[in-house]
Structure 1
């Protein structure tokens, strides 16, 4: 196994440790206080998006192994960038933290389930793609154990956790950036050969994620700030988690290509989405409703 494949799980573990350092039991308890927004987010994340991903796979005609890689990406929870984007564009960051926590816990079940269903559907008979539920223990170790350690440190040594929180988050982002760059460089030829084929589907999938992440909660009459949080939580997947599972748990370089291309495309797309959403909302707020009278100063009474 090459250095990148060995180091990526370690780097992801650092990211999840950083997440745990910022979590308390209250973050999970807060979920029970917002059942409507959590239901909207989970419905979109776990049901709607995988179904849309299947449709896009057929529309773009992906090969079986790339199709399974796309489904693995769809099954991954929100990534660490979701909190940053939510903060930049007026989202409820506390909600992001809570959703990331619950989605990361659910991922130890949902990722193996969605992967196995996708492998059985798109690559039936290919025994090399069998994750099976015994491998879920590795996903558990990669995802949940570091979060649990971070939460224990936060509970028992809160001052230490608060001091470590920001440095660990910064270090994890730097290490991840370097490792992702190294992985892209190491596999540049494979990536170049498949980028054009995958750029379209990952871009469409990413924009649909962001849009539905905002629209579905609004249908549930969730506030704008909470809908923005859901949008980035759902629209910015933890692609590194999908890459780690593909490369180290399943052992497939090709399956890691869709989430690798996604990492290159989605961050700038999310930035554009946030700017457009902000301007659209500001425009609607500045436009009076039918029959609404403005004061002489141009403000609503």
Structure 2
């Protein structure tokens, strides 16, 4: 278990700063462009909100990890994308406006779906023999996530609309801050679970890799089957594959108070940078070929 005031208090505050940074990247025009042609937005939202959590349940049944790892895997799958997905979309030459809108929509909707999927996973995998079942309180979780996600994003959007120079500076600061926070929390988890770390990694590593690769593949397939452009399909693949690991860590560490359940979010948070880099290279190369053939 985690009993660390820095994590219990500092992690939510850090996440609020990160979500405010996401708001600093938004303009009303971003939303207008995407809603004019909503097919890609609808396909990407369905893949993020419903399909990848269902994939996580399937992987748990297939790979059979420990109960804590199983619950943690479902929780990270249920998390939205973050500002990192927007950065990788830019590097890959994807549709940045679509990426931002998908991130914001998923961040708002998953306020409701994270506790739903988490409690299903707890009932299926962690509470089977428990005298006192572990539950993620629905109302408290929704309220806490709303305060941490919705209000900071709205504040960031307001600042961007009124004070563009401040927003440009803040956006750069928050991007670095988010990486530092993620690294610090991962280090804390490694220290907290150091006696079990190799066992947990052996269980969480294959599951996290499978979820990352499966999510990216799911994103591409959803885009192609939805009849959208290759650029938008790539954007959806990045958005589905790159998760906001900080939300997963907050849910598992601050709300569920379980370091073992946090391991999939920590492992995924590291792996996604490697896969995001590969997607960026792929996007650049395919865009170059498309432009050459045009």
1:47: Cα distance to partner? Answer: 2.2
Q: Does 2:134 correspond to 1:134?
A: no
The answer as to whether partners of 1:82 and 1:232 remain within 8 angstroms in 2 is yes
What is aligned with 1:65?
68
1:62: Cα distance to partner? Answer: 1.9
Q: Deviations over 1:198-251 (max 9, x none)?
A: 111110110111122122112212112211111111101111111111110121
What is aligned with 1:295?
none
What is aligned with 1:174?
180
Query: 24-33 or 68-77: which moved more?
Result: 24-33
Secondary structure of 2:46's aligned partner: helix
* Alpha-carbon distance between aligned partners in 1 of 2:28 and 2:285, rounded to the nearest angstrom: 36
Query: With structure 1 as the length reference, what TM-score do the two structures score?
Result: 0.86
* Alpha-carbon distance between aligned partners in 1 of 2:293 and 2:279, rounded to the nearest angstrom: 28
Secondary structure of 1:189's aligned partner: coil
| Cα 1:132/1:260, change in 2 over 3 Å | same
The answer as to whether partners of 1:28 and 1:102 remain within 8 angstroms in 2 is no
Q: Does 2:24 correspond to 1:7?
A: no
Structure 1 unaligned spans of 5+: 287-298
Q: Deviations over 1:148-205 (max 9, x none)?
A: 2212322343443233222233333334333433433443333322101111111011
Count of aligned residue pairs for this structure pair: 288
Which residue of the other structure, out of 83, 91, 113, is the alignment partner of 1:80? Answer: 83
What is aligned with 1:210?
216
* Alpha-carbon distance between aligned partners in 2 of 1:157 and 1:300, rounded to the nearest angstrom: 42
Which structure has the larger Rg?
1
Q: Deviations over 1:131-160 (max 9, x none)?
A: 131222112222222212212322343443
What is aligned with 2:252?
246
* Alpha-carbon distance between aligned partners in 2 of 1:251 and 1:219, rounded to the nearest angstrom: 40
What is aligned with 2:108?
105
| Cα 1:110/1:300, change in 2 over 3 Å | closer
* Alpha-carbon distance between aligned partners in 1 of 2:145 and 2:252, rounded to the nearest angstrom: 11
1:90: Cα distance to partner? Answer: 1.6
Which residue of the other structure, out of 182, 196, 201, is the alignment partner of 2:207? Answer: 201
The answer as to whether partners of 1:90 and 1:228 remain within 8 angstroms in 2 is no
1:279: Cα distance to partner? Answer: 5.1
Structure 2 unaligned spans of 5+: none
1:119: Cα distance to partner? Answer: 2.0
What is aligned with 1:51?
54
Q: Does 2:45 correspond to 1:39?
A: no
* Alpha-carbon distance between aligned partners in 2 of 1:148 and 1:300, rounded to the nearest angstrom: 42
Query: 195-204 or 151-160: which moved more?
Result: 151-160
Q: Deviations over 1:50-97 (max 9, x none)?
A: 222111101111222321111111100012221221122221112111
